[in-house]
Chain A
Amino acid sequence: MADDRRPPPADLQRQYDEFKSKLEQINLKISELDAESADHAVVIKTLTAVPPDRKAYRLIGGILTEGTVETVLPAVKANKEGIEKVIVQLKSELSRAEKDLASWQAKHKVQIVRDPTAAM
């Protein structure tokens, strides 16, 4: 029986897929930025270990700028902080998206089942 409050199963599946792909996207972005932040940490460690007047270069928007460790290090540190801020933002976005999914699931009384055709 057609009921206004009950969307057809195909719609629910599509909505679920949308939730899923959003979560995946955020997760992917977070792991990308995590890797980048780890990269920065290694570079910072290396830069702190060498004499501060050593020549160093930084690539800014495709242009390589010459400087010394002393001038490059703060920029790299600032960059890392920026990345970490974005990660925090994305994580809160992720938990919001997870909550959305949970409340959607509760609202429409949806149970998520494992696809039996998928590899076990």
Chain B
Amino acid sequence: MASNDEIVQLAKRAAEKLRINDTETNPRGIPKAPFIDQVEKFVANADEAEAMLRMLQSMLDKYQSMEAVTLQKKASLNQRVPDIKETLQTVEFLKEQAAKSKSTVTTYELDETMHAHAQIDPTDAVCLWLGANVMLEYPIDEAVELLTERLDAANKNLKDCDEDLEFLREAITTIQVNTARVYNWDIQRRKAEKSRPEHEVVT
């Protein structure tokens, strides 16, 4: 993920500012959003409050853009998994047919509106579409192996995506809460400044 580096840098700076020694990350290296428990410990005046709000905003932007990227990745994986499954099923079916030395009669698409009959003789090889305009012939067992590997990898990727999304949502909430806390603190500070009496007398 390209934006990972940026957010790591930001989180490091934030950690420095908040005097946190180490930044935790999730297994994919996404840093955890630090929680500001005592605003007054880190923000003393209006300038610092503004700087802090700016930093929080840029962190929020980064986390949100990472969330968008991850959502996109998840959508494309969700599309790919059924595709791989179907191919794997078909290849396994052809393997069974070959084991029984049976040919398969099917229809295939000749044109978008036209299908023709086809007979598939027992075969020990299939061609898999690799992408990049290339199709490669595989012995059936090797094809099953490859597809199973791809399916496992895609499923694992999907699980990672879900984990990342949950992690990112938590980070986004933390940053939003931080923003609200700093903002409210600043408002209260302003109020307190205004209502401070100019003179004091002793009774």
Q: Footprint of B on A, CB under 8 Å?
A: 36, 39-40, 42-43, 46-47, 50, 54-60, 64, 69, 72, 76, 79-80, 120
Interface string of B130-152 (1 = CB under 8 A from A): 11111111000000000000000
- Whether A76 contacts B136 by the Cβ 8 Å rule is no
- For the residues of A in contact with B, the DSSP-based class is helix
- Tell whether, in the assembled complex, residue A56 and residue B136 are in contact, meaning their CB atoms are under 8 Å apart: yes
User: Do A59 and B137 touch (CB < 8 A)?
Assistant: no
Interface centre among A46, A60, A64, A79 (most CB of B within 10 A): A46
Given the known interface contacts A57-B127, A120-B60, the answer about A46 and B135 at a Cβ–Cβ threshold of 8 Å is no
- Which A residues are in CB contact (< 8 Å) with B134? 43, 47, 56-59, 72, 76
In angstroms, how far is the closest chain A Cβ from the Cβ of B14? 18
CB-CB under 8 A from A120, the residues of chain B are 57, 60
Q: For B137, list chain A residues within 8 Å (CB).
A: 54-56
**Is B131 touching A43 in the complex (CB atoms < 8 A)?**
yes
Residue count of chain B within 8 Å CB distance of chain A: 11
Residues of B within 8 A of A76 (CB): 132-134
Chain B residues with CB under 8 A of A36:
132
Docked pose: A114 CA to B136 CA in angstroms: 50
Interface of B: prevailing SS:
strand
Q: Chain B 116-135 against A: per-residue CB contact (8 Å), 1 yes, 0 no?
A: 00000000000100111111
**CB-based nearest A residue for B61:** A120
A46 pairs with B130, CB closer than 8 A:
yes
Query: For B57, B132, B136, B137, which residue has the most chain A Cβ atoms within 10 angstroms?
Result: B132
Instruction: Kindly state the separation between the CA atoms of A84 and B57 in the bound complex, as whole angstroms.
Output: 35
Known contacts: A57-B127, A120-B60. The answer to whether A40 contacts B135 by CB under 8 A is no
Expressed in whole angstroms, the minimum distance between the Cβ of B162 and any Cβ of chain A is: 22
**CB atoms of B133 and A60 under 8 A apart:** yes
- Of all chain A residues, the one with the shortest Cβ separation from B136 is A56
User: CA A116 – CA B91 in complex, angstroms?
Assistant: 55
New A-B contacts (9) at CB < 8 Å, excluding given A39-B131, A58-B134, A120-B60: A39-B132, A54-B137, A55-B136, A57-B127, A57-B135, A58-B133, A69-B136, A76-B134, A80-B132
